[in-house]
Amino acid sequence: MMGLSKKTFLYSIVLAAIMTAFILGYFMLMLPSLYVDYVMESNLKSVKEIQEGYRAERNYDNLAVKNPSAVYSVEIPHEGAEIYLAGKFFKMTVKVQDEELLAMLDTVRKMMDGMEGWDEGTGGKSEGMQEGLAQEDFLILWEKIKSKFSEKDILSEDYPVAVQVEGKANQGVYREEYSKIHMAEENSFIYETGVSDGNYSYTTYIAMGWEKDAYIITVLPSMTPRMGEIRPVVVGSLPMIVAVLFLLVLLSSRFFSGKIVNPIIRLAGYAESARSMDGYEMEAFISDSGDEIGALARALHELYRELSEKYKELEQKNKALEEENERQEVFLRATSHQLKTPVTAALLVVEGMMNEVGKYKNTKEYLPEVKRQLLSMRKIVEDILYLNYHAENMQKEELAIEILVQELVGACQVQIEDKGLDIEVKGSGMIWADREMMKKIVDNVLSNAVQYTPEGQRIEIEAKAGELCIRNYGAVIDEKLLPNIFEPFVSSDGSRKGKGLGLYVASYYSRLSGCELKVENIENGVQARLALPEREIRVDTGYQ
């Protein structure tokens, strides 16, 4: 995986390579053809200018000619036997002396007359042109002309034409620019000289060598290429080159910036979504990028994940605090409400005994009643203090559930015998829990069952995998009370003067112990089911 710096560097290399390839392709493929087209158009323009200039002046004196030593014009008068050839450095008069050649010259004149109707726009021939020589006739005529000259010696008196050459001075057209010698091989060298006419430069190569029987000299004149010829082509191509390079840079930069900016935009959207979502519950930000943006995305997701966990933990703590505050409020109200009745009763009895009013004179009879009220108050205070203490000081240990149940059944034996209840305990097993808290849970549920079971009925206690069930028969709970059965001061029998805190305390301790207490009506009875976490119970088979 590459970082942003390496990606940027690689992008620069790729962009430079693309631009270099384009420029090389332009100079290797397009520029030569553009240069050839430019030179062809330049030559066409030059020959037009020379033609028009010569037609106006009938000489080359004031004409700027490219390669003046090789350019000339032929002038054929409409009448007569003379033909004129003119160049920058000469003027030649050719007089036709042969009658057949004169006839041929007239034929050529007729052909030239036919060209006056040439249609430049369509490239078609006029009627006069069509009356001229056909291609086959022209070839026949040319062969006759060649035979005329090949049959005669140029110096003989009956040569078909008479030639008169008038030379012209250099006129300062050429000036030498340089000269140098190249050694080609043994017995051979090349003399190179360059001249200029002010507009164009020319190079002439003269190769000289010798053999045993002769000297060999080879001359090659050439026109030197000019920078001025290629410059217009390059300048004319600049708008296209700049436009293509700009487009390449624009597209490449757009692609590269998209690779950089798009993940950042996604990150911004991810952060905005995380900010607006409750509880930080959101999907993970998936990024397979190995650069700094990918690392930022993963770090940001990890941050949100940790914040989400902290948020959930804080919610749980807030919920626990709310429950604790509610419990404190309940017990404060319970204390003020439940203590009020025994305190009032005890004060009335004590005041009656102190004043020896009526039946209260018999202190031996009513002092136990005062004690009973005081014990009731102490029991309420102990429940409150015990509940607060064990909520913060649980000490789990391995407990035999059947021993715990038998101990609590023995504590209720007087009430059980007084009501003639039938108690059946079956099943056994080991649990991992706080002894006092588990005793408080089972004691409250069992005491509630003993209290509300009618005389002569049956209570069944069963321990099995993951749960402890206490069923008391002969009593049912009003269906309207079932949803609120674990709330404080709720009782299924309004005629009894209970505290109404038993199932509330049992439910609270169950939650602290990781258990679940559920009370429901069954056929002709009520079942209290205490579900224990499976990792905290081991059940044995058999019955007691």
298-308 pLDDT, tens digit each: 777 777 778 77
C-alpha of 457 from chain center: 75
Predicted confidence (pLDDT) per residue in 404-459, tens digit? 888 888 878 878 888 888 999 888 878 788 888 888 888 888 888 888 899 999 99
Strands 428-434, 467-473: pairing kind: unpaired
Rounded average pLDDT over 264-281 = 68
The one-character DSSP state at 26 is I
Residue 221 CB partners (closer than 8 Å, separation 6+):
69, 70, 202, 203, 204, 205
CATH number among 3.10.450.40, 3.30.460.80, 3.10.450.700, 3.30.1330.200, domain 175-225: 3.10.450.700
| Average pLDDT score, the chain | 76
Residue 389 has pLDDT above 80, yes or no: no
Q: Which residue has the tokens 């990890």?
A: 302
Question: Above 70 in pLDDT, residue 191?
Answer: yes
The closest alpha carbon to 532, from 387, 430, 436, 402, belongs to 430
| Per-residue pLDDT at 394 exceeds 50 | yes
> Which of 291, 530, 300 minimizes the C-alpha distance to 427?
530
pLDDT at 391: 61
pLDDT for the residue numbered 472 = 92
Residue 129 above 50 pLDDT?
no
Concatenate the DSSP letters of all residues of 280-337 into one string: G----------SHHHHHHHHHHHHHHHHHHHHHHHHHHHHHHHHHHHHHHHHHHHHHH
Where residue 470 falls among pLDDT bands split at 50, 70, 90? very high
Q: What percent of the chain has pLDDT over 90?
A: 3
The predicted model scores a pTM of 0.43
pLDDT for the residue 471: 92
211-250: per-residue pLDDT in tens? Answer: 888 888 888 878 776 666 777 777 887 888 888 888 888 8
Strands 422-426 and 396-400: unpaired
Of residues 76 and 1, more confidence is placed in: 76
Torsion of CA 6, 8, 13, 14, to 10 degrees: 110
How sure is the predictor about 126, in pLDDT bands with cuts at 50, 70 and 90? very low
Weakest mean pLDDT among 10-24, 176-190, 226-240, 484-498 = 484-498
Cα distances (angstroms) measured from residue 500 to each of 242, 370, 511: 92, 22, 19
Tracing tokens 């959207």 back to the chain, one arrives at 269
Model confidence at 179, pLDDT cuts 50, 70, 90, reads: confident
3-state helix, strand, coil in the chain (%, to 5): 55, 20, 25
Name the more confident of 124 and 69: 69
Reported as a pLDDT band with limits 50, 70 and 90, residue 186 is confident
Domains in the chain: boundaries: 96-165, 175-225, 278-322, 396-544
Tell whether the model's pLDDT for residue 475 goes beyond 60.
yes
pLDDT at 539: 41
**Residues whose CB is less than 8 angstroms from the CB of residue 168 and which lie 6 or more positions away in sequence, other chains included:** 88, 89, 90, 91
Fold observed for domain 396-544: Heat Shock Protein 90 (3.30.565)
Q: Assess whether pLDDT exceeds 80 at residue 374.
A: no
pLDDT of 523 over the 80 cut: yes
Residue 385, helix vs strand vs coil: helix
- At residue 497, the pLDDT reads 43
pLDDT for position 173:
66
Question: Three-class SS of residue 190?
Answer: strand
Top mean-pLDDT range of 171-175, 244-248, 287-291: 244-248
